[in-house]
Structure 1
């Protein structure tokens, strides 16, 4: 049997992506791309990454500690489009683990698999937040760089209101 893969428009692709994420516990993008292929959707990893950012798809963990993708509070089902700052706050609230200031650097730790998404959101947000010079994001750690210790304190004060407090 030959399965024909079809390039679909963005709206259709994102709709199928949301359906696949909602119905399956998908652990990585390779697995996600395979699931999309089963739905006759051909796409690239970079397109999936962009779609995941736009749809507020994050990595979460179940009770056994396994990670999987999910749609963050299903904000995409509303008509309201979130700003980058609102998306940033929501993702930090959902995935934030800790925030530590070291001189002119803030180290934000998040649940594994969410660092890159937050890095992109911080990069978008820093256009209007002059105390952030740059950020470097890994899998679960983001370094937020400032020009001075004082600027880093402003950044720390802003971000710590969204990082859940340890009990």
Structure 2
């Protein structure tokens, strides 16, 4: 019974710390009393230490860095449980887009290419760089599909492709 109360109390402390801002242990005790706990400041102080929650050098009570990392790892583990890893030989294609719409473009490309039967993963950088990870055996087909959509292929096999430009007349040069 005592252990059940402790587990419930510590669970409630974690929830309070995650959702509230407490400057002192007394504020935490008060919030716990409001939800039915009757423990004193000494008990709550021991609980905070066991839970790796402190207020030293911080504006509010929060988890220690090591506890925060542990919580993040647990959260990621739960998210990853429904994920799948693919082990294939990948090729990468790089695109440069306007940073304002790069994420939308990457998402749209990924969906479009999936409908075309390609398995593609995308990553977007803050400067508008889009990385497409594609199966090495299908990368040429994906590139052809991207070109058919109007994406310029400015680099092929390590050499820069030439762009057609109109010759401009030099206004300083007089024609005879």
TM tier relative to shorter chain: 0.3 to 0.5
TM value normalised by structure 2: 0.34
TM-score normalised per structure 1: 0.36
Larger Rg: 2
The structure with higher relative contact order (CA 8 Å, sep 6+) is 1
